């Protein structure tokens, strides 16, 4: 039996040298055709070709039977939106309003000297709201009145001293200028009270009893109210009455709409007794009055 040739450095004698020469073809006789690699007489090549053709046929059938994607219709989009609303918990309007105003709310602390005059003592805690991103803050006058020093704490925890730059005693308002502000200071958005009506939802944000920032929601209870201070020394007019819970420490904080826009500065709660606790009636100075304390006429 013949073995396939192996390459080596020395060449073995060729078959032509071992076999007798073939007979010469007669003149005019055509030479036999050269051997072709892809000859269909080779059974292996024939089966390989059949297998390739079969695979191509199966692939073509698979592609033709595959379902084509259906075009989206408006009904499909509506159904997807409804499905998302049913399965996804969205934040409430109150939560969205709180997140919008929170970066602009500050804690306001006023200090005076101790009885022996040797150290500063905190004697007032209230709230303020940044209305100009240069660190201009609105708060209540009674929060900082008589203070020998004032400190504010921003939403990111930055603490700064501040000083009073303006007063509006008839509305119990004070304007503060912080000496340091956050790099990304965000001022609140103010909104006209011209279209407010009883029943509109509002949110009060502040530091009741120093705890906060805290949020409480309610509705506008009335407009153009008048409040008399407990000592009877002052009447504040044209106030917004609301029923969102407010307590000592909320003073100077923002009253905002469900869009997170400031419509008032919380200034007083009605106390028929001496408990200084919320009984369901609170008042805010309209933002138009408050903005005028800073010299702003935004509306």
Q: Could you tell me which of 262, 265, 216, 257 has the C-alpha nearest to residue 240?
A: 265
State the catalytic residue, choosing from 104, 160, 217, 251. Answer: 251
- Tokens linked to 242: 């609301």
Residue tagged active-site, from 104, 110, 160, 172: 172
Dist. CA 59–CA 63, nearest whole Å: 6
User: Is residue 142 among the annotated active site residues?
Assistant: yes
Catalytic residue at 251? Answer: yes
Residue 183 among the catalytic residues: no
Q: Which tokens belong to 81?
A: 């939106």
Q: Which string of b and e fits 58-95 if b means at least 16 CB within 10 Å?
A: eeeeeeeeeeeeeeeeeeeeeeeeeeeeeeeeeeeebe
Measured on CA atoms in the order 7, 13, 18, 22, is the torsion positive or negative? positive
Q: Which is it for strands 262-269 and 282-286: parallel, antiparallel or unpaired?
A: antiparallel
What are 100's two structure tokens? Answer: 């919008």
Q: Is 91 helix (H, G, I), strand (E, B) or coil?
A: coil
Identified catalytic residue from 142, 160, 214, 216: 142
Is 236 within 8 Å of 267 (Cβ atoms)?
yes
- Looking at the DSSP assignment, which residues form a beta bridge with residue 159? 153
Catalytic machinery residues = 142, 172, 251
């Amino acid at each position: 039996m013949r073995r396939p040739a192996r390459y080596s450095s020395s060449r073995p004698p060729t078959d032509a040298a071992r076999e007798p020469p073939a007979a010469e073809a007669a003149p005019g006789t055509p030479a036999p055709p050269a051997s072709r690699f892809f000859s269909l007489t080779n059974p292996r090549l024939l089966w390989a070709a059949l297998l390739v053709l079969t695979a191509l046929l199966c692939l073509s059938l698979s592609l033709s039977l595959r379902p084509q994607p259906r075009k989206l219709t408006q009904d499909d989009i509506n159904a997807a939106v409804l499905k998302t609303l049913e399965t996804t918990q969205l934040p409430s309007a109150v939560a969205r309003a709180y997140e919008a105003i929170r970066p602009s709310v500050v804690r306001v602390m006023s200090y005076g000297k101790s009885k022996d005059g040797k150290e500063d003592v905190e004697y007032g805690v209230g709230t303020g709201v940044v209305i100009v991103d240069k660190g201009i803050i609105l708060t209540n006058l009674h929060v900082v009145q008589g203070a020998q020093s004032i400190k504010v704490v921003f939403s990111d925890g930055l603490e700064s001293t501040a000083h009073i730059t303006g007063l509006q005693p008839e509305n119990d308002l004070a304007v503060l200028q912080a000496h340091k502000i956050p790099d990304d200071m965000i001022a609140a958005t103010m909104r006209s009270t011209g279209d407010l009506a009883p029943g509109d939802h509002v949110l009060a944000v502040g530091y009741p009893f120093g705890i906060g920032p805290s949020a409480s929601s309610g509705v506008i209870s009335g407009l153009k109210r008048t409040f008399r201070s407990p000592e009877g020394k002052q009447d504040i007019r044209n106030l917004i009455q609301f029923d969102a819970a407010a307590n000592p420490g909320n003073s100077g904080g923002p009253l905002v709409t469900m869009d997170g826009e400031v419509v008032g500065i919380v200034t007083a709660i009605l106390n028929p007794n001496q408990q200084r606790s919320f009984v369901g009636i609170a008042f805010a100075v309209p933002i138009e009055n408050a903005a005028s304390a800073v010299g702003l006429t935004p509306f």
